[in-house]
Structures are given as C-alpha cells and as structure tokens.
Amino acid sequence: MGGKTANDWDMEAIVLEAVNRLPGGFVIFGPNHEILLSNDQNERDFPFTNKALREGKTYVEAAYVAVKAVVPSLSDDVAWATAESIIGSLERGEPVELQTHLGTIMQVVEIPLSFGGWVAVGADVTALREREKELKKARKEAEAANEAKSAFLANISHEIRTPLNGILGMAQLMAASDLTPEQRDQLDTILDSGKTLMAILNDVLDLSKIEAGKFDISPIDNDLGHLLRRLEKLWAPRAVEKGLTLTLEIDPDSMTFLRFDPVRVRQCVSNLVSNAIKFTDVGGITVSASVAPVEEQLFEVSIRISDTGIGMDAATLDKLFAPFTQADASTSRRYGGTGLGLSISRKLAELMGGGVLVESEPGKGSSFTLMFRAAMGQRADEAPAKADVDKTGGVRWAKGMSVLLVDDHALNRKVARLFLEPLGITIVEAENGEEAIRWLQTRDFDLVLLDMHMPVMDGMTALRHIRQHDVPAIRDVPVIALTADSLGPENSRYHEMGADGYVGKPIDHRELIIEIGRVLETKFGRVPAPKAAFPDLRQAGA
C-alpha cells in the first residue's frame, strides 16, 4: 500500500498549521507591506500594527499607531521619530527589538523576497534581556563590593601601618645606639619580623588593587642592568647564609637602558629570586637577562631565574599561580609565605605586556622566566641628586632647617621627629590640613612633610590649597607626601597632585633623609640655605 503523494495533502492547510506552531511571529508582506500571511503569534504580538495595515495605512503609519498604543505617554513627534527609526532599520535588514503591549520584547527581522514582498520573523528575547539586566545588576553590585573592599583595605592598611611605623621607626633608632651583641641580635629579629609583616601586607594589598583593575604601571627611563646588579647585592647575603651561589648573567650585547617600571620589575624579580632561595638547599640560583628587539623602539625583556631546588610536579604547576596557593600544606609549614608572590608577579608581568613561564621537575629544580615589553630609554644628562652626607654620617644641609610635619597620629609624628631632630632640623607639628595651612600663613618653612590620610582636611586637599595659594612662599614650598596608602607607591599620582616627593609608611630613616635631600636639590638646583629663625607673622598677601 503506497504512501500519499503531495497532491493528496492539503498543503495550504499544512503550511498554515506549521507557521501557527512556530514559537515566534511569522508574517509575509506584499510589495507595499500588505499582509499576505500572518501566524497566530504575530497577531498576538502586534495587533495594532496588523489592524492599521489592514485598514490601508502605510507601514510607517502603522508603526506609529503601534508605538502610541504601547507607550501612550510619548509625544507625537517622538512617536513618529521612533516609528521611522524602526521601519528604517527593518528595511535595511537590521534586527529590531520591539516592546509589545503584552510586556514582552520581540526581536524582529525582515528579509526581502524575489517577488518584491517581505518575510518577517520574530523571536521572544524577554528572558534573555531580563537575564542581561540581572547580570548587569550583579556586576554593579560586585563592583560596589570591590569598591567597598578597596576602601576597607585602604583604611585597614592605614591602621596596620601606623603601629608598624612606630615599631620599625623606634627599632631603627635603637639600632643606631650602643647595644650588646645579644641586644643587637634581638633588635635585628624585630626589624626582620616587621619587614616581613610589611611585605605580606603589601602583597595582599597589591593583589587587591590588581583584581580591582586599579593598578597602574608607571614606566620611566632606567638601566635594567644596574637594577639587576643592585638586586644581586641585596639577595647575595641571603643565598650565602644557606650555602648557595647566586650568579647574575646579563647578555653583553643587549641594550639595557630602557623605559619600563623599575618598581614593578624589581618586585617581580625579587619574588622569583626569594622563592628560588627559599626552595633551594644545595647548589645555587642563576639570574640571566636578555633583551630582544620586537619592533622599532620596542623590546622584549626576558629575565630567567633558575635554581637547583626541590622542583615541582605537573599537578603543582597547574595551580602554581593561584593566589594563596603553595605546593601543599607541608610546604607552607616548612617554608612559610602566603603564596601570593607568584600570582602577583604574573599579573604584573601581564600588565607590562608579558607574562611568567615556568619549567620544573621534582628534585631537578625550577626555572621561571619573567617577560615584559619595554620601550627605548633616553639617558638623562645629569645624575640623580644624592643626599649630602658627611664622613660621620650626618647630613650637612639639615642643621637649622625648619620642617612642618603634618600627621593626625601622634606616634607617626614622634617617629619622624626622632628621625629628624638629631640632625639639627626644627620641627613644627600639625594634626590636619587646616592646621597646616594656618602654620604656613604665619611662618616660613623649608619643607612640608604631609600625611595624605587625615581627618578635618586630608593631605590631598591641603596640597591643592598650598599649590593654589596667592602667596608665592606658600605656593612654592617643597612638599613630600607621607602615606600608608594601601595601593602601593603611587609616586606619579602624588606628583600630579603637586607633591615634590613621596615617602611610604612605615618610614625608613635613610629613605626619608635621602628623599628630603633629593627634593630640595631638584626644587632649587641645590640644597638651599635653611631659613633663619621663624619670622614675625606675615602681612596678608605678602
């Protein structure tokens, strides 16, 4: 018994049933957009348009009628402009999303047919758009949470660094006094522990800033070879303590004076060398550097840190760059650390246009390669300014200087005072920006040490008032920013605000003195003669 042929079926009824069962709207228009075939879904979605077309209105007129029916609050001009925009997009073959009187959102597209008519199909995208709204809302909430986290970290950083400033500051002062060998050993332990705590805090806060997308790379002209040789001197004693060798190899044919961010490169290399020393008990560490041209004025720098340490298996390598991750719990117990160094190093390298690669085998050591992009550097004509230090370790230019020290925390002021007063510097203290402005309006100062985070008036606001002041002596006074900013050394940001220099907290005694000397030499071309005794109150506008 044979099957039915096409002629045995009512094809018109079949096609009509098929189009009515489509999940979206379907309509066939004639050359003038008269309706030739419309399925049930199209009738439900666009009854106003269909009715107007059947009454003989043009396509634009029908669209206007539908717009006014769905959004009656629109003015006639806006409704006409909307209708014309809809029809124009459809005639160009562009998909258009239309809100229906049912509250749904339909995406409609029209396709021209050979006889001059059109076929239009619609798809319900309401659920998709709702999902997109939910995702946008979730993203905004996540961004708000990130902002809240960053604000919290900024505050907690300030709170943690303030007592650290006191601990490390007083320890540095004690280190300069006469101590027994046992006392010096105990003090060295305090200093090392404080610096380790500071490094952990910096790692956590750096990672937070990177994840929040607020970490900026600040490239400057610098000598990569000089940077690596200084790091070699820094890490060599640590290697020698473990009986290891530390070898630095710099390709002699490579150009090393480049434009890159030396702070972040130093951070990455230090993380990798520190890990290499930590996980190596026998043998040594080799740091090798090469620079290869990528295109005109652009180079790729590769710094490879190889060790003869414990090595890693494939499973460990897979999770190596995840934050807070180490090989296993025993690794953390034996070697210590937060597991943040490698994660931060890779993220920093990526921000510098590169990455970090690793090769390792258990028992055969590991090799990490830091790669980043750098531009051609330009050498400055003058060497950087240095602090004028005499043979006894004193600072010649310091005696008789007057410094305005602005910080809301008494402990921070005490530490800075104890650092500077023995050098012959006269200190005047202020607890906030408003008080600092009042002091500057009554007395002359050689320098202002200005904390950035204070109540009443913060350092940024005070700095703006200083740089906009009518009195030249106030407007031009050298200012060094002091901050426990959670987001790391933001030298460029503070320079843009008008600061002449920057010292992070906890304050390092030597760093503070050198920065004061550098700022004064840069500002005046030389370290100026200190102000005489404080003058009388200034005349207004003088």
pTM as predicted? 0.50
Dihedral angle of Cα 480, 483, 488, 490, to the nearest 10 degrees: -30
Supply the pLDDT for residue 8: 59
Check whether residue 255 and residue 120 sit in a common domain: no
Q: How many structural domains compose the chain?
A: 4
Q: Are residues 307 and 435 in the same domain?
A: no
- What is the C-alpha separation between 464 and 498, in angstroms, rounded? 7
**Which neighbouring-strand residues pair with 274?**
none
Residues 226 and 342 in one domain: yes
The phi and psi torsions of 526 (rounded to 5 degrees) equal -165, 165
pLDDT band at 7 (very low <50, low <70, confident <90, very high): low
- Write the CB contacts of 410 (distance below 8 Å, at least 6 apart in sequence): none
For the chain, what percent of residues have pLDDT higher than 70? 81
> Quick one: which H or E segment has residue 339?
none
Q: Is 293 helix (H, G, I), strand (E, B) or coil?
A: strand
Q: What is the CATH number of the domain that holds 311?
A: 3.30.565.10
Encode pLDDT of 164-189 as tens digits. 777 877 887 787 778 888 887 778 77
Q: Are residues 207 and 238 in the same domain?
A: no
* 4-18, 234-248, 443-457: least confident range: 4-18
Query: Which of 159, 176, 211 corresponds to the end of one domain?
Result: 211
Q: What whole-number distance in Å separates Cα of residue 111 and Cα of residue 130?
A: 27
Cα 95 to the center of its chain, rounded Å: 38
Does residue 183 lie in a domain region?
yes
User: Are 363 and 435 part of one and the same domain?
Assistant: no
Q: Are residues 192 and 227 in the same domain?
A: no
Please tell me which of 212-216, 449-453, 490-494, 524-528 the model is most confident about, judged by mean pLDDT. 449-453
Six-digit token string for 405: 């020290």
- Choice among 240-254, 332-346, 409-423 with the minimum mean pLDDT: 332-346
Residues 237 and 332 in one domain: yes
Angle at 247 between CA 246 and CA 251, to 5 degrees: 155
The whole-number average pLDDT for the span 145-161 is 71
Q: What is the residue whose two structure tokens read 């040594």?
A: 284
Residue 389 lies in a domain: no
The CATH number of whichever domain residue 164 belongs to comes to 1.10.287.130
Cα dist. 432→82, 107, 443, 455, 504 in Å?
57, 59, 17, 6, 18
Instruction: State the angle between helix axes of 459-467 and 433-440 in degrees (0 to 180), rounded to the nearest 10.
Output: 30
Please check whether residue 80 lies inside any domain of the structure: yes
Q: Give how far the C-alpha of residue 395 lies from the chain's centroid of Cα atoms, to the nearest Å.
A: 37
Predicted pLDDT at 516:
87
* Cα 71 from Cα 86, distance rounded (Å): 15
Task: Clarify whether residues 426 and 472 are in a common domain.
Answer: yes
Distance CA 245, CA 286 (A): 8
245 and 154 share one domain: no
> Domain range for residue 297?
220-376
CB neighbour list of residue 241: distance below 8 Å, 6 or more residues apart: none
Residue 328 has pLDDT above 50, yes or no: no
Q: Report the CATH number at residue 110.
A: 3.30.450.20
Q: List, for residues 346-397, the tens digit of each pLDDT value.
A: 888 888 999 999 998 888 889 999 999 998 887 654 444 444 544 334 456 6
